[in-house]
Structure 1
Amino acid sequence: MDPLTVATLAVACFVLYRIINFTVKLFKVALLFEYPLNAEEIPSLPFIGHAYLFIGGNEAILNRINQLGKNYPTWCRVSFGNYPVYFMTSPEHLKEILLTPKAIEKNYLYVFGRAWLGDGLITAPASVWEVHRKLIQPSFNSVALKSSVETFATLSVTLAKKMEQHLDGSEFEVRKYVSLCALDAICATAMGINLKAMETEKCEFDEAVTKLLNNMITRAISPWLYPDFIFNRTQLGTDQRKHIKFIQEFGINVIRQKKATIVRRSDEGVSADDEQDSFGNFAAGPQILIENLLRLSTDNKTLTDENIQNHVDTMIVAEKIYQELCDIFGENVLHDDSEELQFTMDHLARMTYMERVIKETMRLFPGAPIIGREATDDLELGQFTLRKGTSVVLNIFGVHRSEKYWPDPLKFDPDRFLPERFATQEPYSYLPFSGGRRNCIGSKYAMIFMKTITATILWKYVLTKDKVIPVKDLRLTFDVVLKSVDPDTFRIRRRVK
């Protein structure tokens, strides 16, 4: 047999071997979600690793994550290209990871948000986060939160009036109304500006944020887009630069205006408390986040203008996470006409049933279904060790819907959060605002906002649906935040008292 023939046969055999090997792997993949493999044996493909498992759009991604959590209720290992990632769906592991100082760092997937959010609290390296968190925390204390209630109440009334156009009509989509109200709220309390997004019913800022979040997820599951050299030459990269430029120019203009206001107040000897806000209220100017940050910048030079913009942008993203939770309330209404509604901190604290409704909604529909961390040192987790540099994804969505920790998990039952029942709940099986030292700084802010707008709407209107879809049949997706695939709609009629 001549050398050419031998070489040809060798190549043919190699190709055949690769085809058979690839076919076997695909067969295993087909069986993977029917008959789980060992957590270390999920087949990977050359160059892309397990990225193929998450092909098919954001809805398919969430479904695969959910199924991985069911098949591997403790942990499993996957990889995106050459980057291994451990998916954790055990409250015990989630607790250890969230509490240990060895996993304060966010994992490499958050790097894709740093071009936009820089050193904001979500994306900042641990060393920067530690310092900035302490500086920002006072902006979310009880005094600051109290000063936000009046703004929330004003915007909630505007929201109710905007929805009145649908009174006694057919079902309408609620998301855009709640989304724009949330954006107005965070811009008012974080930046001290009246964006009037609800009045215009369209907001380029909100659209830019949504598109940037979508881009982050697309890049995270596409290892071939990880190198900046490649990503920056794609349409996604071009779009990202355009949206970031718009948002950053918006922030720069606000910072410039606020600096000028602070200088003017200083020159005129005027207190921020004596000035009317953009809604015509005498509303605690010092409690506006951006003004507090600018004072820190002036007093001790700790924060640059870029730092300030990063933190304000991050607050907007954090609110966007929780604004989606309000969309579901059309199916879970609360009305208590035993007293006149008044929006003080005391009255909000007394809305205990509403709080249980909100908490149960966040259990079934957590705003951030997964979060990522990185081990900065070897970390012992039961029978295995997370090596230094290992990326971890915490499957909050999977834990929240696990029958192991929540009886009849897809049943909507607010009484799960009665104090006596929740006291027996598995620790760290409920993490709507993450947990540990790097939890959500705006959790109390979000709860107050959700209570305020929900109470306002439900005090005035009765919300109904022509067809209530069971939780198990709701189609969900996520672009960093959880969303429903189909429009969230309901009918609205005036409440007869």
Structure 2
Amino acid sequence: MSTEVPLVVGHPFLGSLKELREDVLAAYLRAQRTVGDVVRFQAGPPGMRTEVHGVFSADGVRQVLASQAVNFRKDNPTYTEIRESVGNGLLTSQDEDYVFQRRMVQPLFTRRRVNEYAGAVHTETIRTVAGWKSAPDGVVDVSADMAEFALRAVTRILFGADIDTAIDVVRRRFPVIGESVLRRGVSPVRLPRTWPTPANRRTLSAQRELYDVCDRIIAQRTAAGEQDERDDMVSLLVRVRDEDGSGLTADAVRDQILIFLLAGHETTATSLGFALHLLAGHPEVRARARAEVDTVLTGRPATADDMDALPYLTQVLKETMRLYPAVAIMGRRAVADADVAGFRIPAGADVYLTPWVTHRHPDYWKRPETFDPEHFAPDQEATRPRYAWFPFGGGPRACIGQHFSMLEACVALATILQRFDIDAYDPPGHTVPLDLGMALRPAGPLRVRVTARTAEAAA
């Protein structure tokens, strides 16, 4: 028989409201340590109180994302806001819509197709770090630079030669959309979007401009027809056909493009920014990763074919994603009563999985708070449950872009290590303040000191 989920004891009047608002990740981590792997939070005064459930064990995560996935849907307020802001693409669609979209889009994410994007990633990496040689005192903000790199890389892959048409609009307007999604997703009262409040007007203006630039490019690709041989993702989506010969509507293509933009640039920026910051503070790890890159590449550009030959660099990236998962919290809503890890989750409950917590669970990690790529050595990976590490989700809704994300990060990081020595700028023990936006990110700059390497040293 299922056990009632234990309550995290909070303030008599406000419950856990203060703790969740001040630092939700710390609140979840503390709950796992003091209460257990499945918990309930209550927040707000009586009569206005909300309740959420946290699931932190690998087996509980497996049940929610995989074995009982049909019962845990993307019906919570945040996903609703994303749908209304950027459309009903793969990230937010459900049921038959999702099955159809996944079938149509899957050919664009085969390993062979994704591997072709390595050249674009290399080009944008070189462009991003070109100014590092002249940085004052050699100090650069890798958070800002990797955000610009990731934005340009995904925009180039999506829009191809039209990157310059789209990049400025995306750069200016996506933050407005993201801020709106976050604000409305956690607000207990959401005013109708049609009301002409200042926030609604800003969001609507941003949405219109984003839609307009996408629609113009989609119309150009559609007009070109089957003779269009461009291989950017807009062109591929316009040309993709189902078994019966039907394709995606222009609106459906736009929805997928905007979802890929939303999901594809902040996450990679987070992983690369923190990877460089961690390497700067860990000389032994940095030296080993750089030696592997130099040995494998011998000065030439990294390609997709090199990924399997760079296992330690991959371990560095996986360990970075363990400590700083770009999607630090994942939400679902239970359709019916369920048993998760021996506890009863009632129908209608909002359930939150927290990679930030599970990736630090002492049952799965020998040194939970320590940056150590050996956590992902093959012998250690083999001893852990599948869902002890899940930065890309899992189950039937696992991220379709997982291989692309790893390829992009691996090629970019290898390219940077070829060209620059990276050293710590902040003092030992410096704590990076975090901002839980659409993706986890530093609340301020991530500064490192860079020194250009000679061609001979990198060869």
Q: How does the TM-score come out when normalised to structure 1? A: 0.79
Correspondence 1:217 to 2:182:
yes
For residue 261 of structure 1, report the CA deviation from its aligned partner: 2.8
Establish whether residue 133 from structure 1 lines up as the match of residue 95 from structure 2.
no
- CA shift in 2, pair 1:483/1:69, >3 Å: farther
Residues 59-89 of structure 1 deviation map (CA, whole Å, 9 limit, x = unaligned): x344334433433331222356565321111
> In 1, are the aligned partners of 2:327 and 2:439 still within 8 Å (CA)?
yes
Q: Is the 8 A contact 1:460 1:495 kept in 2?
A: yes
1:262 aligns with 2:225: yes
SS in 2 for 1:483: strand
SS at match of 1:335: helix
Counterpart for residue 406 of structure 2: 447
Match of 1:55 among 21, 31, 34: 21
Distance 2:162 2:32 in 1: 43
User: C-alpha separation between the residues in 2 aligned to 1:317 and 1:239?
Assistant: 18
1:475 is matched with which residue: 427, 433, 440? 433
SS in 1 for 2:396: coil
- Matched residue, 1:415: 374
Q: Does structure 1 retain, via aligned residues, the 8 Å contact 2:86–2:207?
A: no
Change in 2 beyond 3 A, CA 1:382/1:421: closer
CA RMSD of aligned residues (A): 2.7
Q: Which runs of 5+ in 1 are unaligned?
A: 1-36, 266-270, 273-284
1:335 maps to a residue whose letter is: R
Letter in 1 for 2:189: W
How far did 1:331 drift? Answer: 3.2
Aligned residue in 1 for 2:452? 494
Aligned partner of 1:309 among 233, 251, 254: 254
CA contact (8 A) 1:297 1:304 kept: no
Match of 1:120 in 2: 89
The Cα offsets for residues 91-120 of structure 1, whole Å up to 9 and x where unpaired, read as: 111110111242352131210111122211
Contact 1:121/1:311 (<8 A) preserved:
yes
Structure 2 stretches of 5 or more lacking a match?
Answer: 280-285
Measured after TM superposition, the shift of residue 488 of structure 1 is 0.7
Q: How does 1:360-379 map to 2 (within 5 A)?
A: 360-379=319-338
- Listed as ranges, the matches of 1:223-372 within 5 Å are 223-225=188-190, 227-228=191-192, 232-262=195-225, 265=227, 272=229, 285-286=230-231, 288-296=232-240, 300-319=245-264, 320-328=266-274, 329-332=276-279, 333=286, 334-336=289-291, 337-338=294-295, 339-372=298-331
Question: Which stretch shifts more, 203-212 or 484-493?
Answer: 203-212
Quote the Cα distance in structure 1 between the aligned partners of 2:247 and 2:31: 43
Who wins on radius of gyration, i.e. which is larger? 1
CA contact (8 A) 2:71 2:334 kept: yes
**1:271-324 residue CA offsets vs partner (Å, 9 max, x unmatched):** 61xxxxxxxxxxxx34x3222221236974452211111111111111122221
C-alpha contact 1:184 1:194 (8 A) present in aligned 2: no
Q: Deviations over 1:208-241 (max 9, x none)?
A: 222322322222222123x526x94543323222
Pairwise CA distance, 1:204: 4.3
Q: Determine which of 48, 52, 56 is the counterpart of 1:89.
A: 56
Shift of 1:50: 5.4
* Native 8 Å contact 1:51 1:223 kept in 2: no
Tell me what 1:179 maps to: 147
Cα deviation 1:395-440 (Å, max 9, x = unaligned): 1111112223212211110011111111001331101111111011
Q: 1:217 to 1:96 in 2, by over 3 A?
A: same
Return closer, same or farther for 1:292/1:204 CA change in 2, 3 Å cut-off: closer
